[in-house]
Amino acid sequence: MLFKVEMKVNLPHDMPAEVAAEIKAREKAYAQELQTQGKWRHLWRVAGSYANVSIFDVADNAELQDLISNLPLFPYMDIQVAPLCRHPSSIHQDDR
């Protein structure tokens, strides 16, 4: 199942820089592992914002919840999720 996930990061302004850097490093490693597994299909920066738009390919809602809630930045993000299905005009056969 495909999901669009929009994440907006809101780190506290008083968070020490080294703490923020450590969380971001863990976030990057986790995100890259999920991309390698094919579960995090797309990861795009929203230009001009500390936010991203992502496409996840997971078995079900429960797996998405599990993956997202384990993001190191999860406590500091506003997250919006939308389920996707194939557009009838899409030429991409791998879209489901």
Least distance (Å) between residue 86 CB and ligand LWBT4IAB: 26
Q: What is the DSSP string of 31-79?
A: HHHHHHTTSEEEEEE-TTSSEEEEEEE-SSHHHHHHHHHT-TTGGGEEE
Of 50 and 86, the one with the shorter C-beta distance to ligand LWBT4IAB is 50
E strand or H helix that includes residue 20? helix 17-36
Interacting residues with ligand LWBT4IAB (CB under 6 A):
7, 9, 27-28, 31, 52, 73
Least distance (Å) between residue 17 CB and ligand LWBT4IAB: 16
